């Protein structure tokens, strides 16, 4: 049974950390000096979770771990793409966390943030500027079961990535529900403003795929390429996460196909409504044509026109107008155009 070593009073500038010593005892909330000592010794298993918004914690990437300055710069850039890079003493992995933005009224707005991993022989460093539920859940699990850290820091990274990828599934389901709602609204009552929501949903699906697609390639490398920091038996666990990303990509592609169908239906309904309006206007113009012709004839400035001097001439003109219009209405109904 492992015993947890008493941790010193942690400073707010110290990162969250867990260290399993070679003798099985556990330490956490380590000071920067202790972290540097562990890194230099190369013994045990160390996980350090760094808040990139804290300058003191972020400085440990250079001072305690001596990571490459290009990788450190990437941890400060929210636009860093999802990728995997190999260095002499570690590998550098970037993945994206995705969630719906609750601060905006638009239900299709996505909020993305990067989660960075530095995986070495005996250490794992995670860096993020937004609170990560995956890191919190993994930390609580390790504190409850310290022996899990004995499986290696690469398994700790797997647990964090697996938890993050599993969080994608409810998002895809929620996006599918929103698309189903658009489809129901489209068939129940035509809404001209629905086109805006359709394109917002397409943008959300595209954004989702843009972040998950590169992650699939990263996991493919972690699963199949030999790596000095991930044991072959551990790569099997990464393969499971890789399969999850394939399922997510398939679900997102299905959602995009549904959106394409919704958009096509919307455009078809718009075209049908336009054709119906044009048909109605054409019918009105056809019925009004004899009225205009007869009225135009009797409006000409000639001295002698038929029935102009007859006391019932005006009524004969009206009768001819409505008679011809009635014949046209009968003919349109007979041909089922009206």
Q: How do residues 77-112 score in pLDDT, each as one tens digit?
A: 888 899 999 998 999 999 998 888 777 777 778 888
Would you say residue 181 has pLDDT above 60? yes
Would you say residue 6 has pLDDT above 70? no
User: Contacts for 245-251 with beta carbons within 8 Å, 24 or more apart?
Assistant: 245/165, 245/212, 245/215, 245/216, 245/219, 246/216, 248/165, 248/168, 248/169, 248/172, 248/212, 249/209, 249/212, 249/213, 249/216, 251/169, 251/172, 251/176
Q: What is the mean pLDDT of residues 267-273?
A: 80
Would you say residue 1 has pLDDT above 50? no
Which band of pLDDT confidence, cut at 50, 70 and 90, is reported for residue 3?
A: very low
pLDDT digits (tens, 9 = 90+) for 32-81: 999 999 998 888 999 999 999 999 999 999 999 999 999 999 999 888 89
What architecture does CATH give domain 1-146? Answer: 2-Layer Sandwich (3.30)
Q: What is residue 190's predicted lDDT score, i.e. its pLDDT?
A: 73
| Residue 43: both structure tokens together | 């013994």
Domain boundaries, the chain: 1-146, 281-334
**Burial category of 100 from C-beta neighbours within 10 Å (exposed 0-12, middle 13-18, buried 19 and up):** middle
> Distance (Å, rounded) from C-alpha 110 to C-alpha 202?
12
The DSSP secondary structure of 27-51, one letter per residue, reads EES--HHHHHHHHHHT-SEEEEEEE
Give the mean pLDDT of the chain: 84
Q: What is the mean pLDDT of residues 167-175?
A: 90
Q: Does domain 281-334 have CATH number 1.20.1560.10?
A: no
Q: What is residue 98's predicted lDDT score, i.e. its pLDDT?
A: 86
pLDDT digits (tens, 9 = 90+) for 278-295: 877 777 777 777 777 777
* Cα 209 from chain centre: 7
């Amino acid at each position: 049974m492992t015993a947890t070593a008493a941790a010193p009073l942690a400073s707010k500038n110290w990162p969250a950390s867990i260290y399993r010593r070679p003798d099985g005892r556990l330490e956490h909330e380590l000071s920067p000096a202790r972290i540097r000592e562990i890194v230099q010794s190369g013994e045990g298993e160390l996980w350090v979770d760094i808040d990139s918004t804290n300058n003191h914690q972020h400085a440990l990437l250079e001072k305690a771990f001596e990571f490459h300055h290009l990788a450190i710069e990437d941890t400060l850039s929210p636009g860093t793409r999802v990728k995997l890079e190999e260095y002499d003493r570690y590998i550098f992995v970037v993945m994206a966390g995705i969630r719906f933005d609750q601060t905006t009224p638009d239900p299709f707005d996505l909020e993305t943030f990067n989660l960075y991993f530095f995986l070495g022989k005996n250490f794992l460093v995670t860096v993020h500027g937004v609170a990560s539920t995956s890191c919190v859940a993994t930390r609580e699990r390790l504190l409850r079961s310290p022996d899990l850290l004995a499986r290696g820091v690469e398994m700790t990274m797997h647990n964090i990535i697996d938890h993050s990828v599993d969080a994608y599934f409810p998002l895809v389901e929620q996006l599918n529900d929103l698309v189903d709602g658009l489809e129901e609204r489209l068939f129940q009552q035509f809404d001209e403003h629905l086109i805006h929501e359709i394109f917002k949903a397409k943008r959300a699906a595209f954004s989702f795929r843009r972040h998950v697609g590169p992650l699939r390639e990263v996991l493919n490398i972690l699963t199949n390429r030999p790596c000095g920091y991930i044991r072959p038996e551990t790569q099997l666990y990464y393969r499971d996460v890789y399969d999850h990303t394939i399922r997510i990509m398939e679900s997102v592609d299905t959602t995009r196909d549904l959106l394409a169908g919704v958009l096509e239906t919307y455009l078809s309904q718009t075209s049908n409504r336009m054709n119906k309006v044009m048909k109605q206007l054409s019918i009105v113009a056809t019925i009004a044509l004899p009225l205009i012709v007869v009225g135009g004839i009797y409006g000409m400035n000639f001295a002698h026109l038929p029935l102009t001097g007859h006391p019932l001439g005006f009524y004969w003109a009206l009768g001819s107008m409505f008679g011809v219009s009635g014949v046209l209405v009968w003919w349109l109904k007979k041909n089922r155009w009206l």
